[in-house]
Amino acid sequence: MRCKLEKICGGCDLLHMPYDQQLAHKEKVVADLIANNHLSMKVNSIHGAEKTYGYRNKIIVAFAKYKGKIVSGLYAAHSHKVVAAKNCLMHPKNIQQIILRITELVDSMKIELYNERTQTGLLRHVLIRYAHKTNQVMICFVTGKKQFPSRRNMVNILVKEFPEIQTILQSVNSRNTSIVLENEAFVLYGDGMITDRLCDLDFTMGANSFYQIHHDQCEVLYDLAKKKLKLKEEETVLDTYCGIGTIGLSLAGECRQVTGVEINADSIGFAKMNASQNHIHNAVFVAMDSTRFMKEAQYHRSYFDAIILDPPRAGTTREFIENACLLNPKKILYISCDPTTLVRDLGMFSKKGYKAQEIDLVDMFPNTKNIESVVLLTPYQRRKK
């Protein structure tokens, strides 16, 4: 399938390739990275997606005015120029309809767009989250100031026309930054949350929560993680960068206890809520920097059989790796969304006595160059508890 905007948008940089070629390309990228960094690892066949279009569950919409008319779309690659798009192939169809209606309303209500150069105006972005299994939708208007004329009319029209909209929020971001949600959002309609079903569990999230972009491939990833860890019922797990608890809670039935650590207190609140609503009693969650938590765990002589990390695209830090290895776990599971930073971090883990024998790839982002991967690291020399 082709898109008229693919060359100027740049969001789907592999869309021109047949899907089997995309998968082969991603395998080769990772294999070359491993070879060039002199790592001895087997690259297993990538887990391709059944759903390669309409899979995104988080969408950030940008706005611009062309020839006196407001249009919506995505930023062109490496720029803040809005590419007007009425039908992005990666957006679910019902979400695309909501985006088009919001665009019409912004235009007809003459809502002023934010100007990054002068830092004036109102509407910066609209963030939309979609729960594929429950069909719940969250909309968050990101504005340059709190005053939002026509806000009540906008909300009333949207919830009347689209009953799947569970909640609508507004986040005020007046800073000169590329970060979309700078501050906590306040609720305009609903309770500020949506709930999705993942791995036979219910997960409630907010506007700022991390949640894998492709629901079905996330289940593939977490199933793969479970198989690689091979947890025993007496084992304990430390889930760092735990977010709203998706990974740890999906593993809680396999082990004695999961401890989730996350620096974002809001995410920890959702993690506790998710444990409670799924009747999971062997998971505890702590709002703390993961590296600091591991340092304190060493001081108290705490032990974890397995440590899990799923850091941001920038990977983790040398300090995190040192402290994780000092806890002497039997296994470390590393989930990564950037193989370049993963390979860098694997080199540091190796110096601390932990190596991976193989790497598994999951195509979380079909039609794009992004690659999700997972490795299991184990001690390659005898270590003491």
Q: From CA 285, how far away is CA 252, in angstroms rounded?
A: 12
User: pLDDT for 104-131, tens place per residue?
Assistant: 999 999 999 988 888 888 999 999 999 9
What is the C-alpha R_g of the chain?
Answer: 22
Q: How confident is the model at residue 22 (pLDDT cuts 50, 70, 90)?
A: very high
Is the torsion defined by CA of 13, 15, 18, 20 positive or negative? positive
238 neighbors 261 (Cβ within 8 angstroms):
yes
Task: Give 33-89 pLDDT, tens digit per residue.
Answer: 999 999 999 999 999 999 999 999 999 999 999 888 999 988 877 777 888 888 889
- Nearest C-alpha neighbor of 57 from the set 167, 133, 4, 169: 133
Range(s) within the chain of domains with CATH label 2.40.50.1070: 58-197
Q: Are 343 and 39 in contact (CB under 8 A)?
A: yes
Instruction: Report the predicted TM-score, pTM, of the whole model to 2 decimal places.
Output: 0.93
Domain 58-197 has CATH 2.40.50.1070: yes
Task: Give the amino acid at 241.
Answer: Y
Q: Where in the chain is the domain with CATH 3.40.50.150?
A: 19-51+213-379
140 a catalytic residue:
no
Choosing from 9, 12, 140, 337, the catalytic residue is: 337
Check if CATH label 3.40.50.150 holds for domain 19-51+213-379.
yes
Three-state helix/strand/coil letters over 241-307 = CCCCCHHHHHHHHHCCEEEEEECCHHHHHHHHHHHHHCCCCCEEEEECCHHHHHHHHHHCCCCCCEE
7 vs 374, residue with greater confidence: 374
Give pLDDT tens digits for 126-138: 999 999 999 999 9
Do the beta carbons of residue 271 and residue 245 sit within 8 Å?
yes
